[in-house]
A and B are shown apart, each in its own frame.
Chain A
Amino acid sequence: SYVLTQPPSVSVAPGKTARISCGGDNIGNKRVHWYQQKPGQAPVLVVYDDTDRPSGIPERFSGSHSGDAATLTVSMVEAGDEADYYCQVWDSSSDHVVFGGGTKLTVL
Chain B
Amino acid sequence: DAKTTQPNSMESNEEEPVHLPCNHSTISGTDYIHWYRQLPSQGPEYVIHGLTSNVNNRMASLAIAEDRKSSTLILHRATLRDAAVYYCILRGYNNNDMRFGAGTRLTVKP
Chain A complexes with chain B: no
